[in-house]
Structure 1
Amino acid sequence: MVLSPPSSRLTSTFATALQAAHDAASGQNYLPGALYVVATPIGNLADITLRALHLLQLADVVACEDTRHTQALLRAYGIDKPQAQLLAVHQHNEAQAVQTVLERLQLGQRVAYVSDAGTPAISDPGARLVAGVRLAGVTVVPLPGASSVTTVLSAAGVSADHPAQGGFVFAGFLPAKATERAHAVQGLASEVRAVVLLEAPHRIEALAQALAVLGERALTVGRELTKQFEQVTTLPASAFPQWLASDANRTRGEFALVLHPAATAVDSSTDTRVLKLLLAELPLKIAVKLAAEITGQPRNALYDLALALKTDPADQQD
C-alpha cells in the first residue's frame, strides 16, 4: 500500500475515529512492557480498527517495516509520532532487532509492531520478533484486523464437498525461480484443500503460466483488494494467463489468490470403504499409509478423512 502525504481534509476525516477509538478502547487494560502486534489496512484506510488507533496513540514505540511508510500512515490518521518513537524492524534486521525491542520492553515501554500492510508475522516480517519476545517471557498481545489472506478467502466462496477438502493451506509466495516454482505447483496439484497464494505485480504473469497446468481447477484472483480498482474473479487456472493478457491493468497491484479444492472427489465409496476396513484392524497412521498405497489418494487427505471417520458417531455405530 502506497500512501500519499496526508491532507488536512484526510486527517480531519479521522478525527472522529480517534475520539471513537478513545471512547471505545481506553477503558481496557494495556499492559506496560508488552509487545502489541497490530494489523493495519491492506489498502483502504477506513479498515483500521478502533483498538488499533487507540494503541498506536498510546504506544511508546512503533516498530515497523518502513519508518517512512508508517509515519505517513500514522499522520493520515492524525497521529503524530516523532522519529525517535519509530523503530525499523524488517526482514533484513529482524533477528538483530529483537534485542533492541526487548530493551525497550524491559524499560516498561509499550511497543506496537506493524508491517507495511495487513497482519504482521503471516507473510510479512514479525514472526521472528514475536518468537524472540515470547522466548524472553514477555507478553505478546495481538490486535486483529485486515489480512489479505482472510479477505480473499471470504470473497472466493470456497466450499468443501468432503471433510478431507475442508480448511485451507497458506502457501504465500511461491519460489521466484522457474524450476522451483514449477515444482511447487506440482505439489499443489495433489493438495485437495484450498490454497491461498500471494504475488507481486512483476511476477504475476510468471505465476499465471505456472498455475495454468492445473487445467480446470477453479482459481479466485483478488487484485488490489479493498482499493478503488479492486477486482475479484474466479476462473479456471488454465484461463488465468489469457485473463491477465486481455487487459494491461490486470497485471497492476498486489495479488491474493485462492486455488479452490480439487474437483476430483477424494471420498469415493471405494476409498472410504478401504479406509474403514483398515481402521477397524490397524492404528490410524498405519491404516492411512496402506490406504494411500491401495487407492493412490494423497496421504494427507486420507489422514483427514480417517480423523473424520473416527469422530463420526454414525461410523462408530457400524
Structure 2
Amino acid sequence: MAEINCTQVTEFSLMGFTEEPVAQVTLFLMFLLIYLFTILGNLGMIALIRASPQLHSPMYYFLGNLAFVDLCSSTGITPKMLVDFMSEKKGIAYVGCVAQVFIFDLFGMTECFLLAMMAYDRYMAICHPLVYPLVMSPKYCFQLVTGSYLMGLTNGMGQTICMSSLSFCGSRVIHLFFCDISPLISLSTSNTTLSRIILTTSASLFGLSSGLIVLVSYVAIVSAILNIRSAEGMRKAFSTCASHITTVSIFYGTSLFVYLKPSSDSSRDDKWAAVVYTVVTPMLNPLIYSLRNTEVKEALRRLTKPK
C-alpha cells in the first residue's frame, strides 16, 4: 500500500558543509580555485603529452586518459557543488541525480582500472624490461584503456538501473554534496535487496579486482627493486613508479575509508574524505606527475623554451 501511495520523487536535497554565510563564501572560493586548477592541470597534461614526441609511450598514454577521466569526473560533481554554496535551496532534480550517479560510477570505476593498468605497465617495465616494448604495444595499450572504459560503463549503467528501480517515500535528504548510490539505497522505502546485491557485486568484481592488480603488481615491483644491487639502480627504478604510488594511495585510501566505514553517509569526516577523492585528487594528479617526473618537466621545458 505504501508503494502504491508513493508520490514520484522529483527532487532531492543535498546536505551542504555548513549553513554559515561567511563559511560558504570561503568554501566556494576555495573549491572554485581547486576546480580551475583541475581544468588547467588536466587539459595541460593532455596537451603536453600529445605535443611531446618523447612522451608518446604506454605510461603517458595511460596518464593522458587518466587526466581526461579526472576532468570528466570532477566536472560531473564540482560545478553543482559550487552552485549550492551560493544557493539557499540545495536541491537536485531526480534526473540530475541519476546523471550524477551515472557519471560518478562510470568515471570512478574507469579510474580504478586505469590505475591498475598503469601499475601493470610499471610492473612490465621494471620486472620484464626486455619484452616490455613487445608486450606493451600501441594496440595492446589501446585494448587495455578501452577495457577500462567498458568496465566503467558497465558499472555506471548497473548503478543507474539500480537507482531507477528504487522508490523514495520518506526523507529525501542526501547527506553528501553529490548523488551517490549508497546513500540513495539507504533513503529508499522500497525493497533494496536487489540494489544492494548489485552494489556489492560491482564493488567485489570491479573494485577489488582492480585493487588486486595494483597490489600484486607492486608486490612484484618492490621485490624486483630490492634485488637490484646498485643504489643508483634502485633509486631510478623507484622514481619511475613513485608518482603512481602516491596517486593510488590517495585515491584508494580515501575511497576505502568512505565505502568500508559503517554509516558513512552521515559522518562529517566521510564527507571530507569524499571531497578528497572526488574534487581534490583530480587536481593533485597532474601536479604529482609533473613535479615528480623528470620526463614531464623536460618536455614542458622544451615546449616553453624560446625558439
Give the TM-score normalised by the residue count of structure 1. 0.25
Q: Identify the structure with the greater strand proportion.
A: 1
Q: Identify the structure with the greater helix proportion.
A: 2
Bigger relative contact order, structure 1 or 2, given CA contacts below 8 A and separation 6+? 2
Which one has the largest radius of gyration? 1
